[in-house]
Structure 1
Amino acid sequence: MEVELDKPKVCGTCGARDAPLKCPCKAVFYCNAECQRASWKEHRGECTHDLERKLEKDRRRLEGNDPAIVVALFSLGHLYQAQHRLAEAEEKFLEVRRICLPVEEGWGWQNAAAVSSRLGCIYEDQDKLDDALDMQKQALRLYRRVTGDDDDVDVAMTLNSLGSVLARMGQLDRAMAKHKKAHEILSRLYGDDHPSATVVLTNMANTLTLQGREEEATAVREKALGTYRCSLGSESDQVVGTLVSLGNSYAVQGKFEEAHGKFEEALATVRRIHPERNPLEATILMSMGQAQVDQGKLDDAVAMYNKAYRIYRKTIGVETLQGACTLHSTGVVFQRQGKMEAAMEKFNEALAIQRRVGGGEHHDVATSLLNIAVCKNMMGDPQGAVALLREAEGINRKWGSSDGNAQNVAAFLAILEGELSGSGGG
């Protein structure tokens, strides 16, 4: 998969737009060869094209299980994962596992554990939650073999990752137990105010939200915000992310004035940290848009979503799941306003991007299919709606999804099939 099908063509050296020269690694553009040479020293360590060539040379020169090859594979996998080239990242990490698992020494199991955890994160991003859970469990077992006990940062962070997967699978009590165990370990090792412990706190808050315990989640997020400010300072992306989460918490509770204050503080901070447009700004605007929807201010919400979409387009490109989410959210507002044709246009645009970027069986595809089906039914095409709902149901069944979206698909499909059967139109 490409890094992004419509990556903004900003020169990696001088920042000029519409740079025509693309590095073979597909991750950066340049105005010309001069700009490319000027940045080569900095870019060389992140150029996957150059690193792949070096890896092939190492394969010819060294034995297949040489530690140098493992390091090269791991570095490439990390870069591909950061660029959201997940299939290529998976390939590299799986090869590291194949090399390292038979090596019953510390370095072998340590590397196998590290890539297993990363594979778990990749599978979670792809909504392959059973595979993600299995990989994180394997990583945890390997880390425990290496360390001999649980008082280890890698064990703690893997427990945290396990909790995140379990939360997405709806196993919220088990998820919270993993997060609490991880937080206890990190607090013993580094203290409550360490950034790693704070990362776990934010995941605990997310699980509390899923459990419907929003006031408790808000209190945990306030604590996380305070510890981030103490450890990292107020001008950090972590502080911005926590402010947004807090704003969302207050909005869920109907405390829109408090929510607006957090969102505005997050916007001001991200604009100071990143004078150029940044995707975080769009993320904040998306949350602000949802708060407007919750208050019934639908035109204001559309304005927020449109601005967020423009920022995503300028910073990370149109062909991203974030951009698709923005289009989808706009479609939901149009749907609520009764503008079914306009909603269908946005949903279909989002769906096309989701299929290209995430694959035809991504969870977001099922969500878009559901909303398009609602529009079709409202516009007098129940048969077309049923066809889309059956496709969505197939996606949900493949991944074992049982969340609210999957339940809505199943319920709506049952209603329409019953109506069509009764009228002889099925």
Structure 2
Amino acid sequence: MTDFKKNSGKKEIFDENTSIEAKDKSPEKELKKETGKEVEIKTENHRVLLERYDQRLKDLDSELITPEDEIALKEAFIHAKETFEPEELVSWFTVKAEPFYRSVSWKVLLPFYEELLGIVEEKPGPESSETAYVLNGLAGIYRYMGNYEEALGLFLRALKIRENLPDQPRPETGDTLSELGILYALMDRREEALSFYTRALETQKKFLSPKNLGAIRTLNRTAFFYKGLEKTEKAEECFRRALEFLEKLQEQEPDNSMILGYRAGTLNNLGVLLSETGKLDEAEDRYGQALKLQEKVYGTEHPQVAQTLNNLALLYFQTTRYEKAMILYTRSLEIMEKFGKTEHTGFATTLNNLAGVYVQKGRHEKALELYTRALEIRERILGPEDPDVAKTLNNMGELYRILGQHKKALPLYTRALKIYETTLGPTHPDVGTTLNNLAGLHESMGEYETAINLYEKALDIIEKEYGPDHPYFKITRNNLLGLYEKMERSWRR
């Protein structure tokens, strides 16, 4: 906002007989002439400064945004407003804002989009493609900040503008349809979400090219949508379809870093799905492919590489290859530490997972150290009542139970259970697994009746969610049966 000086209270005094001619020669007139010259100089200064900040913003990696980058964007925007016409300003901002958008720097971007909306609504006008672009970006920010209703109004307005523009269909229309799909999914309006994803894909397929990967984004989003509905076959189909498209595009431009990056990301996403559905051999292969592509695009030390290392390490942990898991988790942590990603939920997750490896290897002190560090980060970033905090509390409780330190384990399990019940509801599967763990603790303490009650509650929750054939149900049922046998043996004595 422009800063104006307050009026000093002094008044200019003119001779009341001053002629019109004399006024024309007054200092005011001379000042206007000087201002005209100054405008030209100032414009050139803005252009020079814009070029300087543009260099600072060139080729930014969304995973490595720094506070200095944020300052550079703010300064560049100030000078861009004075250099470009509104249409050019939007084109410039589209490119410069993208890495910040992908790095979820919502608080940084919000004031820019709000100011830009006011500019483009005045010129080129409220029904222009530029206004639709700004509305779409602003709506995305509101969506990720949880202001769903406000986001919906902005997205629908952007869609209406884009659908009324000439030369339909247009790729931008597909982009807004896809964004609305995400929003409706978050609002749990599933039929509308799927409808918008389908419409988006129909439009975006027509424009699929190495420079326009909107269809790939929508296929990944639709896959996550189906995954959330536990329709894993549909989700897998979407990921594989996206990979087919990407492979064809890569034939056109083998070294296109954008295509390679999207392919690596999709392979990683498919790997997670395959791992969760028990297809571990193929999941391992997909992670390996993703890792090679990421190292080619980003180098061997990059946060994207760290993420895939983390996923592959989890697979090694699940298949009891603990040494391999430890190596990959450690490497992942080193990469994140190098790039200052230690105050990050992903870093805390890796600490948590590596601690689990140390538990399996009997290195309990090291495991406790890592769990403690993970807990501190999660509480700081997510707050003390977040489900991820409960996960670490649960793990620490289990470690103390293994060590026979029951008094330390009990409050951790109890707090984890309370968090899950409050945030996820009393019948959520995580409540069931925590009840099972808490029951095991009371069993270890010789409090059998309490343990039986907790096991039965856990069984009821897990059976309703997963059914009687699920491994979690079988584990809890066996725990309960084992306790009954233990009690029967003690009675026989």
Q: TM-score range by the shorter chain?
A: 0.5 to 0.7
Does the 8 Å CA contact 1:351/1:369 hold for their aligned counterparts? no
Does the 8 Å CA contact 1:267/1:281 hold for their aligned counterparts? yes
1:145 maps to 2:198: no
1:371 maps to 2:434: yes
Give the aligned residue type for 1:245: N
| Distance 1:50-1:201 versus aligned 2 partners, 3 A rule | closer
CA RMSD, Structure 1 to Structure 2 (Å): 4.7
Please give the TM-score of this superposition, normalised by the length of structure 1: 0.67
1:312 corresponds to which of 363, 378, 400: 378
Partner of 1:158: 218
1:210 maps to 2:276: yes
1:226 maps to 2:292: yes
Matched positions, count: 364
Distance 1:205 1:276 in 2: 25
| Distance 1:335-1:93 versus aligned 2 partners, 3 A rule | farther
1:326 maps to 2:392: yes
Distance 1:277 1:409 in 2: 36
Please give the TM-score of this superposition, normalised by the length of structure 2: 0.59
Instruction: Give the CA deviation at 1:277.
Output: 4.8
Partner of 2:141: 79
| Distance 1:132-1:299 versus aligned 2 partners, 3 A rule | farther
Instruction: Give the CA deviation at 1:247.
Output: 1.5
Instruction: Give the CA deviation at 1:226.
Output: 1.0
Partner of 2:177: 113
| Distance 1:98-1:168 versus aligned 2 partners, 3 A rule | closer
Give the aligned residue type for 1:381: T
Question: Which residues in structure 2 correspond to 1:91-102 (within 5 Å)?
Answer: 91-100=149-158
Q: Deviations over 1:206-255 (max 9, x none)?
A: 12212323232222212211110101112211001111112122222222
Question: Which residues in structure 2 correspond to 1:276-425 (within 5 Å)?
Answer: 277-295=343-361, 297-313=363-379, 318=384, 320-335=386-401, 342-351=408-417, 353=419, 359-361=423-425, 366-368=429-431, 370-372=433-435, 375=438, 378=443, 379=447, 380-381=449-450, 385=454, 402=466, 408=472
Percent of aligned pairs with the same amino acid: 16
Larger Rg over CA atoms: 2
Give the aligned residue type for 1:371: T
Question: Which residues in structure 2 correspond to 1:8-47 (within 5 Å)?
Answer: 41=75, 46-47=107-108
Give the aligned residue type for 1:197: R
Does the 8 Å CA contact 1:109/1:143 hold for their aligned counterparts? no
Distance 1:268 1:382 in 2: 41
Distance 2:382 2:77 in 1: 19
| Residues 57-66 or 242-251, more deviating | 57-66
| Distance 1:272-1:211 versus aligned 2 partners, 3 A rule | same
Instruction: Give the CA deviation at 1:367.
Output: 0.6
Partner of 1:251: 317
Q: Deviations over 1:11-59 (max 9, x none)?
A: xxxxxxxxxxxxxxxxxxx9xxxxxx99975899845774797599799
SS state at 2:300 partner: coil
1:238 corresponds to which of 304, 319, 329: 304
Does the 8 Å CA contact 2:142/2:151 hold for their aligned counterparts? no
Does the 8 Å CA contact 2:243/2:267 hold for their aligned counterparts? yes
1:195 maps to 2:195: no
Does the 8 Å CA contact 2:175/2:214 hold for their aligned counterparts? no
Does the 8 Å CA contact 1:267/1:284 hold for their aligned counterparts? yes
| Distance 1:196-1:228 versus aligned 2 partners, 3 A rule | same
Query: Which structure exhibits the higher relative contact order, with contacts defined as CA atoms closer than 8 Å and separated by 6 or more residues?
Result: 1
SS state at 1:94 partner: helix
SS state at 2:288 partner: helix
Distance 1:43 1:384 in 2: 62
Instruction: Give the CA deviation at 1:198.
Output: 0.8
